[in-house]
Amino acid sequence: MEVTTNASVEETQVWGGGNKPLNASYGKMMMWFFIVSDALTFTGFLVSYGFSRFKNINSWPIADEVFTHFPFLHGIDAPMYYVALMTFILIFSSVTMVLAVDAGHHMNKAKVTFYMLLTIIGGAIFVGSQAWEWKNFIKGEYGALETRGGQILQFVNAETGKRAAIQEFALGIESDRATHQSYNGIWYEDEKALPNVSVAEVKKGFLADPNLVIRTQQLTEEGQKTVLTRDASLAKIDEAVGVVEGANLIHNEYGNRLFADFFFFITGFHGFHVLSGVVINVIIFFNVILGTYERRGHYEMVEKVGLYWHFVDLVWVFVFTFFYLV
């Protein structure tokens, strides 16, 4: 392609058109401006996350306790390892993308194809990993009770200091309470599925085991969750009104429900970006195979989707920091 530099342009030609002061094509520039506006969107999300966090600075969930899973390692406490791996995968797929762009500059079709394929695979692995993270987060681990004010009460074994799962210590109570279905009610309204254990069962199990104490949402000076004494726990458990298992947009066993809301919203929005990035990459990949860009004489389309792909990586770097590290 022709390269027009400002120095070589005659004064009379400056206003005659065809001059590129930014030395970038229309498409590339628009991709950049889209990225700038998208970056500001993500800024809005992440800053509002920061807002909620600073607003609840003494009761925010500790990320290390929330994301502790690693595939195939059951019951092993592995905070952050998996997200770190996901970060590496995404950075690596960014690298293969930039290698594809570089190969495109050299009009090397075989290499562009190969690197684009690696990029797509990396992106797909990342989206899958994120789905897995969501699954663990939604399913929950130990379960908790919720008070009328929406505070979460978790349980700890005072002897071992380990968290206690409500499923394990709750004692069954004979009850006739069944999930209300629309066919057996007058008002034809369905009820949400009942939790596996009821508040009364958790309470009974709690009273039966003198080692159990309650851990509240409040953070201590050292940034740890406050663990109540047995006596304070016995008083506290009467405030509980509901059982929470896992997390959704309304309840969150890990602590403040805003944490779950932001987690779903921001990682979901980012995951959607990755997904659409993979789809666009696939389209470009097939165009490369079909030789579209070979005939066009340049691989600028690869460069443009590359910009988008790197941007997705860039956002993840920030999401990783603000959700998992800080």
Binding positions for another protein, rule: CB under 8 A: 1, 3, 21-24, 29, 32-33, 35-36, 39-40, 43-44, 47-48, 50-58, 64, 79-81, 84, 87-88, 91-92, 94-95, 97-99, 102, 105-106, 147-149, 151, 218, 223, 239, 298, 300, 306-307, 310-311, 313-314, 317-318, 320-321, 324-326
Shortest distance in whole angstroms from residue 126 CB to another protein: 14
Shortest distance in whole angstroms from residue 177 CB to another protein: 26
Longest dimension (CA), the chain: 93
Nearer to another protein, 170 or 219 (CB): 219
Nearer to another protein, 239 or 294 (CB): 239
Shortest distance in whole angstroms from residue 52 CB to another protein: 7
Shortest distance in whole angstroms from residue 128 CB to another protein: 20
Distance CA 224, CA 206 (A): 23
Measure the CA angle with vertex 236, ends 234 and 237; round to 5°.
70
87: left (phi over 0), alpha (psi -120 to 50) or beta: alpha
Nearer to another protein, 99 or 197 (CB): 99
100's enclosing H/E stretch is helix 81-105
The answer to whether the beta carbons of residues 140 and 246 sit under 8 Å apart is yes
Long-range contacts for 170-174 (Cβ within 8 Å, ≥24 apart)?
Answer: 170/197, 170/201, 170/202, 170/204, 170/205, 171/201, 171/204, 171/205, 171/208, 172/201, 173/198, 173/200, 173/201, 173/204
Nearer to another protein, 205 or 310 (CB): 310
The answer to whether the beta carbons of residues 142 and 163 sit under 8 Å apart is yes
Nearer to another protein, 76 or 317 (CB): 317
Nearer to another protein, 54 or 187 (CB): 54
Shortest distance in whole angstroms from residue 306 CB to another protein: 8
Shortest distance in whole angstroms from residue 89 CB to another protein: 11
Q: What is the CA radius of gyration of the chain?
A: 27
